[in-house]
Structure 1
């Protein structure tokens, strides 16, 4: 397994095209692996190619990729990077082995994390109607999606709670009957987006049906509860819409200061 980082040159037309279409970015990412054919699909329990875009500032967008094999991002450098400054030592992206981090995961350890996900639930609008998958749209429901006890058990971690002296409200709630997780947990939603695009059907040479994906980017602190389950989460992804930049969870050592990284 490898984790790679590529900084997108947002001034280039090719970059703007990729950033405007999750499907185009997915195709560009998958083209980084000559051993993976367009028709290949991973087995349910096997590692897969995951990717995520992090907008750190207006002109600083980072593409993260977690993959079974080492990628060749030469085409991305040419289309959306800085090809003129590429050298043998600096090809325009960074890749490193993921195994050292995966191997060191231990129950009870705490990490800072970042995740972009597609939080959804099933609803039935009227009696007798088939349930439909619908996106969570409000921060409190998006947080509740990740904080679900059964989901966290499957993923192999739990989101850490804040100590009482760091909560702004008693017991971390805004209302006696409706607890607000934003003050109880080390968890914040840094960004929400609604991505709308047409799913292309290249084989038929025409556009497919329109697709809308609602994403939420979470940051916070987690505690490892099941190292094997967390390794699966890190290498297989979390939730739906993984082809469109969702599901990639990344970890970093907790900073010494209270600030979340």
Structure 2
């Protein structure tokens, strides 16, 4: 696995285009990876996940992938320094049951809405709609934890030790569809319950809209307190 860090030049016309159209940013990210046949989704084939993080004076794009990227094809002036690329593993703390870790996740929490009068058990997948209330966002993350091998510890106030924060809405247009994503950034702590499931969540991402900057789970060790 590889992790790239792209420090963006916010004056770049190409970056501003991408910021206004998340599909274009997806295309810019995927330009670093080899072409795949039309029958194979390139993002999934290469294991690409990415996230746009705000910094005090700009933005950094983190990109994770199974395939080593080639960033030479980025638009001129897109970054202010050479992209940093290295193996992901040195940035992964030890993942073992019972260990508490810090994390950051930008995700696309949704719930399924079914047509009125539809019969339970014969509803299909339903229409995904955004989850906007903070308590419901935490419930969504807790359910994902059950699937992906972690639980959310409680803080001193008796509530989950997580800070959900809505991010600016992502919009764009592909060849056929209008894209709207309402991402939420989760910062806080988790406790590993299943190491294999937790590693799979890191490598494969969590939730929907993985092509559009959601799903990348970053972990860090937690300093012991005395």
Same-fold call, TM cutoff 0.5: yes
Task: Please give the secondary structure, in 2, of the residue aligned with 1:106.
Answer: coil
1:110-138 residue CA offsets vs partner (Å, 9 max, x unmatched) = 11100011101112362238532111122
In terms of Rg, which structure is larger?
1
Task: Provide the rounded CA distance (Å) in 1 between the counterparts of 2:68 and 2:118.
Answer: 49
- What are the equivalent positions in structure 2 for 1:92-171 lying under 5 Å apart? 92-101=82-91, 104-124=94-114, 126-128=116-118, 131-148=126-143, 151-162=144-155, 166-167=156-157
Task: Provide the rounded CA distance (Å) in 2 between the counterparts of 1:234 and 1:70.
Answer: 17
How big is the shift at 1:101?
A: 4.8
How big is the shift at 1:256?
A: 6.0
Is residue 162 of structure 2 the alignment partner of residue 187 of structure 1?
yes
Is residue 18 of structure 2 the alignment partner of residue 25 of structure 1?
no
Task: Please give the secondary structure, in 1, of the residue aligned with 2:164.
Answer: strand
- Is the 1:2–1:67 contact (alpha carbons within 8 Å) kept by the matching residues of 2? yes
1:171-227 residue CA offsets vs partner (Å, 9 max, x unmatched) = x4xxxxxxxxxxx1110013333222222x2xxxxxx23221111111011111111
Q: Where does residue 72 of structure 1 map in the other structure?
A: 70
Task: Provide the rounded CA distance (Å) in 1 between the counterparts of 2:161 and 2:93.
Answer: 25
What is the aligned length? 219
Task: Provide the rounded CA distance (Å) in 2 between the counterparts of 1:99 and 1:33.
Answer: 20
- Is the 1:53–1:245 contact (alpha carbons within 8 Å) kept by the matching residues of 2? yes
TM-score (norm 2): 0.86
The runs of 4+ residues in structure 1 deviating greater than 6 Å are none
RMSD over aligned Cα, in angstroms?
2.4
Task: Provide the rounded CA distance (Å) in 1 between the counterparts of 2:8 and 2:154.
Answer: 35
How big is the shift at 1:47?
A: 6.5
Task: Please give the secondary structure, in 2, of the residue aligned with 1:143.
Answer: helix
Task: Please give the secondary structure, in 1, of the residue aligned with 2:32.
Answer: coil
TM-score (norm 1): 0.76
1:18-66 residue CA offsets vs partner (Å, 9 max, x unmatched) = 22221111111111123x426332698x761111101123x32110111
Task: Provide the rounded CA distance (Å) in 2 between the counterparts of 1:43 and 1:94.
Answer: 20
Task: Provide the rounded CA distance (Å) in 1 between the counterparts of 2:73 and 2:46.
Answer: 23
Q: Where does residue 15 of structure 1 map in the other structure?
A: 15
Unmatched 5+ stretches in structure 2: none
Q: Where does residue 48 of structure 1 map in the other structure?
A: 47
